[in-house]
Chains A and B, each alone.
Chain A
């Protein structure tokens, strides 16, 4: 036998998270994504403390373009746009990230169980998901928000619930295909518990699909919040969110285009940030990736 016994006993293998971090940090675009996302989170957390009162109306400077006093200009009521974008970040990010996170946790749990066990639970859940997916995401969210009533919590709940069916469908498909892999049969034959199989075999191998879903869902939820707020079903004025700012800017698009540009830019950059971050995470979590 060619028993390859090495003389040197190597140090304990590096912990997995360190390898993942290393692979992540080797991707410049992933770092750009991370920086963007962190920057907007920072804006949401500390921004409102540094800027002036977002509701302070100054009729001296109605619809004034960017200046030293108001770096991003003022709106139709003379409110500082920078302060309003910073405050809006809170609502928008909360609505986008929290609703998506809730949807992922609920949807992945239900979807993996449904796809792994099949049977009656899967049959019933599958039909419900089919019916719910017949409604477009936004219409579903609008309907739910109308029932729940207008408030930030209810907006998040409505956005989360309306995202769940799509997540269930993805998770269920992943679980079904991974369930048929030989390494899962092997784990069952070894006497692994079902919970362990789902957590150690199915979930990690489905992770990249969920990350991709999350990077698409967060921006969609941010825009969803904007729509709900525009329809009066979301955060109520004078509270700001990027969506409210954007819709408010609509009437003054000709006179004061910067009113739409800055909240729009915020949404676009956040979307970009989450997309790059998601791509980087997906690659870093895949052991087949380089380094």
Chain B
């Protein structure tokens, strides 16, 4: 057991070889299918870092969030929260640690208890963890609501009386009221209109600068992940394809999937649209229930070779230790360029 000497050296979250399989089908008959939602991923989040986890539907990004917050138990791998192994903690043993990790969901219409007032919703975590007196709690809640930009008079309102943006602020206030070390945000702005989304993203960055929490930000929107993240991991079919800093990922994406994803994202800039050759992938995302040998992306990859169909590439750093890619074709000398291919 390595006992950390300096608090800053322990990552807030350390995930190693995380696997989560769901089985579907009847328990009685033989025809059971295994859905490989997450199939062996590593992820580290440092103190005060915002890590974006981006992927399309079925990539397993939300399952990672559920495992990290221990809303579900992983099939294999380890999860360390502030250096402590929480992979298999029972619900009772996990309970005191839950003050350190909180979650914000996508849908602000179903993530707040409709029978509680805003004040009750935000103070509930304090009550459950027995923090402070009634008076202390009241002032903490007020302070938190103020930080998230909610007017005091909204305290006694019910969720249905609030707009989508206000509800998401309440969800943020609740998630942060115990000052957790880690916040898992699962598509927190995807259900919101663009102008409201902008204000929520601003609040998240403001709060992060103010309170210094780390954040696992799960989303399918590239522009959002580019705006908010320090580091980004791209997921596809339960595996991380590429992981690096924000600047590097958008400047020089290496993995063919990342390149296709960036190219497919509609850009609100007609000049850029015309300048770029669009990479349109053929086919669909394969079902995560099918067992696929080799690289998960080989069925749609325009540059796949025989090796991609048989051998699963590991997520490794090629030239730069800060830039890790799971692709056979990416080497220290360079990466395939799908843009050039599309132009040709």
- Is A26 in contact with chain B by the CB < 8 A criterion? no
Q: What is the interface of chain A mostly: helix, strand, loop, or mixed?
A: loop
- CB-CB contacts of A257-291 with B at 8 A, as 1s and 0s? 00000000000000000000000000000011000
Q: Which residues of B contact A10 (CB under 8 A)?
A: 152-153
Q: Are B117 and A193 in contact (CB under 8 A)?
A: no
Within 8 A of B (CB), among A1-50: 1-6, 9-10, 13-14, 16
**How far apart sit A16 and B91, CA to CA, in the bound complex (Å)?**
32
Binding site for A on B (CB under 8 A): 69, 71, 91, 94-99, 101-103, 105, 107, 110-117, 119, 124-125, 128-129, 146, 149-153, 155-156, 158, 160, 171, 174, 178, 199, 202-203, 206
**How far apart sit A280 and B113, CA to CA, in the bound complex (Å)?**
22
Q: Which residues of A contact B99 (CB under 8 A)?
A: 191
13 A/B residue pairs, CB under 8 Å, sorted by A:
A1-B149, A1-B202, A2-B149, A2-B199, A3-B149, A182-B111, A183-B113, A185-B71, A186-B112, A190-B98, A190-B128, A287-B114, A288-B160
- Is A188 in contact with chain B by the CB < 8 A criterion? yes
> Size range of the interface on A?
20 to 34
- CB-CB contacts of A56-71 with B at 8 A, as 1s and 0s? 0000000000000000
**How far apart sit A181 and B71, CA to CA, in the bound complex (Å)?**
13
Q: Which residues of A contact B150 (CB under 8 A)?
A: 4
Q: Are B69 and A193 in contact (CB under 8 A)?
A: no
Q: Are A6 and B152 in contact (CB under 8 A)?
A: yes
Q: Among A4, A185, A186, A188, which residue has its beta carbon within 8 angstroms of that of B174?
A: A186
Among A3, A186, A205, A288, the most chain B Cβ lie within 10 Å of the Cβ of A186
- Is A209 in contact with chain B by the CB < 8 A criterion? no
**How far apart sit A191 and B107, CA to CA, in the bound complex (Å)?**
20
Taking the nearest CB of chain A, how far is it from the CB of B95, in angstroms? 5
**How far apart sit A14 and B158, CA to CA, in the bound complex (Å)?**
13
Residue in chain B with minimal CB distance to A197:
B128
Taking the nearest CB of chain B, how far is it from the CB of A83, in angstroms? 46
Among A4, A190, A191, A287, the most chain B Cβ lie within 10 Å of the Cβ of A190
Q: Are A182 and B110 in contact (CB under 8 A)?
A: yes
The 3 tightest CB contacts between A and B, nearest first, are A191-B98, A13-B156, A204-B115
Residue in chain B with minimal CB distance to A193:
B128
Q: Among B91, B98, B105, B151, which residue has its beta carbon within 8 angstroms of that of A182?
A: B105
**How far apart sit A180 and B68, CA to CA, in the bound complex (Å)?**
18
Among B103, B110, B115, B153, the most chain A Cβ lie within 10 Å of the Cβ of B115
Among B113, B117, B178, the most chain A Cβ lie within 10 Å of the Cβ of B113
Q: Are A190 and B174 in contact (CB under 8 A)?
A: yes
**How far apart sit A3 and B101, CA to CA, in the bound complex (Å)?**
26
Taking the nearest CB of chain B, how far is it from the CB of A225, in angstroms? 34
Q: Are B146 and A3 in contact (CB under 8 A)?
A: yes
Given A5-B152, A186-B111, A287-B114: A191 in contact with B160 (beta carbons within 8 A): no
Q: Are B115 and A287 in contact (CB under 8 A)?
A: yes
Q: Are A192 and B152 in contact (CB under 8 A)?
A: no
Taking the nearest CB of chain B, how far is it from the CB of A195, in angstroms? 11
Q: Which residues of A contact B98 (CB under 8 A)?
A: 189-191
A-B Cβ contacts below 8 A, count: 94
Q: Among A5, A6, A13, which residue has its beta carbon within 8 angstroms of that of B119?
A: A13
Q: Are B96 and A191 in contact (CB under 8 A)?
A: yes
Q: Are B113 and A200 in contact (CB under 8 A)?
A: yes
Q: Are A189 and B101 in contact (CB under 8 A)?
A: yes
A sample of 5 more A-B contacts (CB under 8 A), given A190-B98, A194-B91, is A2-B149, A186-B103, A186-B111, A187-B124, A190-B174
Taking the nearest CB of chain A, how far is it from the CB of B61, in angstroms? 16
Q: Which residues of B contact A188 (CB under 8 A)?
A: 71
**How far apart sit A194 and B94, CA to CA, in the bound complex (Å)?**
13
**How far apart sit A200 and B110, CA to CA, in the bound complex (Å)?**
16
Q: Which residues of A contact B202 (CB under 8 A)?
A: 1
- Is A137 in contact with chain B by the CB < 8 A criterion? no
Taking the nearest CB of chain A, how far is it from the CB of B162, in angstroms? 12
Q: Among A2, A16, A288, which residue has its beta carbon within 8 angstroms of that of B114?
A: A288
Q: Which residues of A contact B69 (CB under 8 A)?
A: 189
Q: Which residues of A contact B125 (CB under 8 A)?
A: 190-192
Q: Which residues of B contact A5 (CB under 8 A)?
A: 146, 151-152
Q: Among A16, A181, A190, which residue has its beta carbon within 8 angstroms of that of B102?
A: A190
**How far apart sit A189 and B115, CA to CA, in the bound complex (Å)?**
19
Q: Are A186 and B95 in contact (CB under 8 A)?
A: no
Q: Among A9, A182, A194, which residue has its beta carbon within 8 angstroms of that of B107?
A: A182
**How far apart sit A191 and B152, CA to CA, in the bound complex (Å)?**
26
- Is A196 in contact with chain B by the CB < 8 A criterion? yes
**How far apart sit A203 and B70, CA to CA, in the bound complex (Å)?**
24
Q: Are B158 and A1 in contact (CB under 8 A)?
A: no
Taking the nearest CB of chain B, how far is it from the CB of A20, in angstroms? 11
Q: Are A192 and B128 in contact (CB under 8 A)?
A: yes
**How far apart sit A56 and B114, CA to CA, in the bound complex (Å)?**
57
**How far apart sit A205 and B156, CA to CA, in the bound complex (Å)?**
18
Q: Which residues of A contact B156 (CB under 8 A)?
A: 13-14
Q: Are A196 and B117 in contact (CB under 8 A)?
A: no
Q: Are B128 and A9 in contact (CB under 8 A)?
A: no
- Is A201 in contact with chain B by the CB < 8 A criterion? yes
Q: Which residues of A contact B124 (CB under 8 A)?
A: 187, 190, 192, 200
Q: Which residues of A contact B160 (CB under 8 A)?
A: 287-288
Taking the nearest CB of chain A, how far is it from the CB of B195, in angstroms? 12
Q: Which residues of B contact A16 (CB under 8 A)?
A: 117
